[in-house]
Amino acid sequence: MNFLEKLFSVQKNLKTIPHLPSLGAKNFLKYIGPGLLVTVGFIDPGNWASNIAAGASYGYTLLWVVTLSTIMLVLLQHNVAHLGIATGLCLSEAATIHTKRWVSRSILSTAMMASVSTSLAEILGGAIALNMLFNIPLKICAMMTAGLAAFMLFSNSYRRLEKWIIGFVSLIGLSFLYELTLVNVEWGKAASGWIKPEIPANAMLIVMSILGSVVMPHNLFLHSEIIQSREWNLKDDTIIKKQLDYEFMDTLFSMFVGWAINSAMIILAAAAFFAHRMPVSELSQAERLLAPLLGSHASWIFALALLFSGLSSSVTSGMAGGTIMAGCFGESYDIRDSHSRLGVGLSFIGALVIIFLINDPFKGLLYSQMALSIQLPFTIFLQIYLTSSKKVMGKFANTRTTTALLVLVGVVVSGLNIRLLYGFLR
């Protein structure tokens, strides 16, 4: 082989090597995105209900619950994203490949039902917002929310979808920043509330509701899938380690955004409702009460932010349903694939059927949280099993310390969800 032939051969081989990123700050900014899609589930309508009730009933006292839940969420979400980066598999695919068939099918079947339950809450939240804004019947609003979310999923590439969701999260955050300027916030009490654990009398149910609605099964499946949109090279350990660093920063930043928005909800409710001794138990009630206190524009912005929350979280719950279903067949999520489309369809259609069968929206939210409470422990401990296995993760398997921390978080979160379920059933 002469020199020119060798040069041509080298150039040809270079084209087959996966892109190796420049490992700088500019590249990290391009990496941000997957964590923010997961954050949508952290600020969904279920969280709104819990946070508004917490602030209206107990002021700034329960802000520490948001801090604690965010720390636990960072540990679990980083760990499941670790699985996606190190193996190139989402949680559903890894379960199908690395566990016995009866185990994977049992857990993934319940996870698919949990995805339906999640979509139920998210679509219902968007429907409540549309009802607030335009006074359209709730069930028609539910169909509109599901239809728009499905359109976004089926007609957009992941990259464009990611930009839409980031835009929605930004608008939700800006909405609450604006509303906080309209109320008199006692920042000293807020600062104390963020770091000082305190459970007032009769507040345990709300504490468990906040903690229990933060870690959701569909987000664990979703994060392990969408993190692979930033994948560069599974064969280069240096690149994988850098990806893990970038992912951790993305997760940390995104969960901070979620922490700030959830905190803003409690602070707004504390300043607007608790200060005036006005207890709030429903989102529509909160919207109605804001108008006489802060003006009609404040209630309109509240409802609009809720619409963005319901719509964006409906999109991510549908995507999670597609991920779970595709993983059952050992496939990655791809909206052009029939299995992914089937998962999205089941998630949305199942949710709409339940919404039409239940006359009381509050009962719909109640049943959805019960389903998530039952399924969550199975997903968390499946994740811990897979990420602690050297057979699955190789040299990137969890250390004993990491595994111990994850088990502790899993026990706490699962215990709270089971306790919440018990409270619902009593």
Give the per-residue pLDDT at 233.
52
**Angle of the 45-58 helix axis to the 361-387 helix axis, nearest 10:** 110
Q: What's the alpha-carbon Rg for the chain, to the nearest Å? A: 22
Region 394-415: mean pLDDT is 90
> At 145, is the secondary structure helix, strand, or coil?
helix
Instruction: Give me 306's structure tokens.
Output: 């809720």
Collect contacts of 336-343 with beta carbons under 8 A, ≥24 apart: 341/154, 343/112, 343/115
pLDDT tens, residue by residue, 367-398: 676 777 778 889 999 999 999 999 999 888 99
Region 140-162: mean pLDDT is 87
Please give the C-alpha separations between residue 351 and each of 45, 84, 277, 324, 356, in angstroms, as whole numbers. 15, 28, 36, 16, 9
Please give the C-alpha separations between residue 402 and each of 10, 396, 406, in angstroms, as whole numbers. 42, 12, 6
Beta-carbon count within 10 A of 292 CB: 11
* Mean pLDDT lowest among 6-10, 252-256, 262-266: 6-10
Give the per-residue pLDDT at 275.
85
pLDDT tens, residue by residue, 104-132: 999 999 999 989 988 998 998 899 889 98
- Residue 30 confidence (pLDDT) above 70: no
Give the per-residue pLDDT at 51.
87
pLDDT, mean over the chain: 83
Identity of the residue numbered 392: V
- CA 165, distance to chain mean position in Å, is 12
Q: Are 53 and 281 in contact (CB under 8 A)?
A: yes
* Mean pLDDT lowest among 23-32, 35-44, 143-152: 23-32
* Beta carbons within 8 Å of 76's beta carbon, 6+ residues apart: 215, 220, 380, 383, 406, 409, 410, 413
* Mean pLDDT lowest among 41-55, 86-100, 139-153, 201-215: 201-215
- CA 205, distance to chain mean position in Å, is 21
Q: What is the DSSP letter of 22?
A: P
What is d(CA 215, CA 147) in angstroms, rounded to the nearest whole number? 26
Pick from 249, 216, 413, 231: which is nearest to 316 by CA? 216
H/E element holding 252? helix 237-272
* Beta carbons within 8 Å of 291's beta carbon, 6+ residues apart: 298, 299
Give the per-residue pLDDT at 423.
67
Instruction: Give me 410's structure tokens.
Output: 């899993």
- Residue 256 confidence (pLDDT) above 50: yes
pLDDT tens, residue by residue, 311-340: 989 999 999 999 999 999 999 898 889 999
Identity of the residue numbered 398: N
Q: Are 77 and 223 in contact (CB under 8 A)?
A: yes
pLDDT tens, residue by residue, 202-219: 887 788 777 767 788 888
Domains annotated on the chain, with CATH: 23-425 (1.20.1740.10)
Residue the block writes with tokens 């719950």: 317
Share of residues in the chain with pLDDT > 70 (%): 84
Collect contacts of 334-339 with beta carbons under 8 A, ≥24 apart: 335/153, 335/154
Q: Are 39 and 165 in contact (CB under 8 A)?
A: no
Beta-carbon count within 10 A of 173 CB: 17
